[in-house]
Amino acid sequence: ATNRTFTMIKPDAFGAGNTGAILEMIESAGFRIIALKATRLSPELAGQFYQVHKERPFYADLCQYMSSGPIVAAILEKSNAVADFRSLIGATNPENAAEGTIRKRFATSLEANAIHGSDSDENALIESNFFFSAFDQIG
């Protein structure tokens, strides 16, 4: 079925000027952009977004890093969107990311790993609604 996922181009990739190249990989892989914006997270908003990780040892660093510079947030549509997008971005740790993946090409470390992809349909919707209203989304 055709469904949606949510992504963020993280501060390392945005700051390095890789937004265009990453969006090109995403569109070439067959994803359709439903909503898109450049924005910036405060540490508080990053903390809310990553609530699920709040007990993890990397949480404080992650919130600091994700609020360290601008990001791009987007909603993407494709058949099998969540799983196919996670294949396109590659493993969380770029050392383990396969050739041809976005993280293999652009990630610089486990934390600064260039891009986010939702891990389930349910989280895709929660994360999309965190950044976008219905008005921001094309049909």
CB closer to ligand CMP, 110 vs 138? 110
DSSP-derived secondary structure letter, 96 = G
Which residue type, as a one-letter code, is found at position 72? V
Q: Where are the alpha helices (DSSP H) in the chain?
A: 11-15, 19-28, 43-49, 59-66, 81-89, 102-106, 121-131
Write out the residues near ligand CMP by the rule CB under 6 A: 53, 58, 62, 92, 110-111, 113, 116
Q: Is 53 known to be catalytic?
A: no
The C-alpha atoms of residue 117 and residue 52 are separated, in whole angstroms, by: 14
Tell me the residue nearest to ligand CMP as measured from the CB: 58
Query: Which is the catalytic residue, given 116, 118, 127, 128?
Result: 116
Closest separation in Å from C-beta 139 to ligand CMP: 28
Closest separation in Å from C-beta 135 to ligand CMP: 26
Taking the CB of residue 109, how many other CB atoms lie within 10 A of it? 12
Strand partners, 76: 5, 33
Closest separation in Å from C-beta 123 to ligand CMP: 11
Closest separation in Å from C-beta 126 to ligand CMP: 14
CB closer to ligand CMP, 131 vs 134? 131
Find where tokens 């569109």 sit: 27
CB closer to ligand CMP, 67 vs 113? 113
Determine the Cα angle at 136 with ends 131 and 137, to 5°: 100
CB closer to ligand CMP, 35 vs 66? 66
Catalogue the active-site residues: 116
